[in-house]
Amino acid sequence: MNDSTLKPGDTLGLIGGGQLGRMFTQAAQRMGFQVAVIDPDRHCPAAQVGAIPITGRWDDRQTLEKLAQISKATTVEFENIPARALFYLEKLGVACRPGWRGLWVSQNRIREKRFLERLGCPLPFWCEICSESDLDRAARTVGLPLILKTAAEGYDGKGQARVESASQLADAWNSMGQRPCVAESLVQFQAELSIIAGRDQFGAIACHGPMWNHHTHHILDWSIYPSPFGPIITTEAVKIARRVVESLGHVGLMTVELFLTNDGHLIVNELAPRPHNSGHWTIEGSPTSQFDQQARILAGWSIGDTYSSTPACMGNLLGDIWTNGEPAWAESLQADPGIKLHLYGKTSPKPGRKMGHLTVIDTDPRQALARVQAARHTLKSQARPSCQSTSQLA
């Protein structure tokens, strides 16, 4: 062990205290660490479970200095943190895992695609759009229909437009404020997959997944592990994820989102240098959850075992579940006592907002999915009208 190895009782730094930060905090606490979190909200989901709140912005020097005073190593719950914030933390003697490179590459779709292309990873046809003169070329090189995505700050389908004809391109680009974009060919896929690679400071790598992910309105609805697409696809997904983390020298987690095309090969959609919604099932289903892994890597410990032979399904609980009032928690959990409920401590259940999730471990992955769906249906259909919840949704 070297001097960047932490010990229980030490404080781990975290930037961003939403649900990913909350589940990281809980995992780190189980291993005896304390967590200090930078978040603009003093009562963010991570602070609610005991992370020490450092209220402020992650690009503010004084806020970063406060974190550096109490923690020797810092991780992140999202990728849109300026590289200079991590440089500053490192200057103050704080190890950043992941480091700036993984964040810098994945926070901009143009950089990300160039990087993946150099690595020889399979991508949709794409081109960058930085000026009006790029628009014509996009339709010719990428083909139609295409998807236009802002290079920075898009997520869950936000900052995206589907373009059917060349004449719609200029309008679509204008609607994005003429910001730098990528144009991508529309991939004909049979499934969306993800794989979460963890790489420790010694260079050892272990992967969770691939998971099979289903989205509704661009938001993850459910994930199933293992993917039902067989060993060739699993091997290929692992190979891509390993190539990405090795070439970045990444120390931390890296999620690779993939399309499985109709003709049976993988295409990389995007990268996220952090835990991922599709990996929440690992809390119950894997010897080392994605959050345990994040904490182990951050502490400078060696990577944990990720192998799991038990199928699992995770279903998101969006604010929509509150449409008819307070969801029927007791009824749903009584009807299927094997359901695991996770809520993130958020108070305003808006449609599309991730409020929590359910996990089911089952010998049959299809049955795990059916049980998640039945539980969610019970939550909503047997909800009790409550003035507060319904007015918040209005």
Positions in the binding site for ligand AMP (CB under 6 A): 124, 147, 154-155, 157, 184, 186-187, 192, 215, 218, 257, 269-270
Nearer residue to ligand AMP within complex by CB, 61 or 215: 215
What does the alpha-carbon distance between residue 374 and residue 384 come to, in Å, rounded to a whole number? 18
Nearer residue to ligand AMP within complex by CB, 86 or 105: 105
Rounded to the nearest whole angstrom, what is the least distance from the CB of residue 270 to ligand AMP in the complex? Answer: 5
What does the alpha-carbon distance between residue 340 and residue 140 come to, in Å, rounded to a whole number? 49
Give whole-number Cα distances, 7 to 71, 86, 126, 128, 348, in Å: 12, 22, 46, 46, 37
3-state secondary structure of 18: coil
What does the alpha-carbon distance between residue 272 and residue 253 come to, in Å, rounded to a whole number? 8
Nearer residue to ligand AMP within complex by CB, 42 or 215: 215
Return the closest-CA partner of residue 229 out of 214, 211, 215.
211
- Chain position carrying tokens 């926070």: 107
Rounded to the nearest whole angstrom, what is the least distance from the CB of residue 162 to ligand AMP in the complex? Answer: 8
Rounded to the nearest whole angstrom, what is the least distance from the CB of residue 113 to ligand AMP in the complex? Answer: 11
Rounded to the nearest whole angstrom, what is the least distance from the CB of residue 362 to ligand AMP in the complex? Answer: 25
3-state secondary structure of 190: strand
Rounded to the nearest whole angstrom, what is the least distance from the CB of residue 186 to ligand AMP in the complex? Answer: 5
Helices (H), the chain: 19-30, 45-48, 61-70, 83-91, 100-106, 109-119, 133-142, 166-175, 230-248, 282-285, 290-298, 329-335, 365-381, 387-393
What does the alpha-carbon distance between residue 148 and residue 138 come to, in Å, rounded to a whole number? 10
Nearer residue to ligand AMP within complex by CB, 128 or 184: 184
Nearer residue to ligand AMP within complex by CB, 257 or 331: 257
Nearer residue to ligand AMP within complex by CB, 23 or 191: 191
Rounded to the nearest whole angstrom, what is the least distance from the CB of residue 354 to ligand AMP in the complex? Answer: 15
Strand 189-199, strand 205-216: pairing: antiparallel
Residue nearest ligand AMP (C-beta atom): 187
Rounded to the nearest whole angstrom, what is the least distance from the CB of residue 360 to ligand AMP in the complex? Answer: 23
Rounded to the nearest whole angstrom, what is the least distance from the CB of residue 208 to ligand AMP in the complex? Answer: 18
- Chain position carrying tokens 């999730």: 357
Nearer residue to ligand AMP within complex by CB, 70 or 219: 219
Nearer residue to ligand AMP within complex by CB, 184 or 236: 184
What does the alpha-carbon distance between residue 186 and residue 73 come to, in Å, rounded to a whole number? 40
What does the alpha-carbon distance between residue 299 and residue 95 come to, in Å, rounded to a whole number? 10
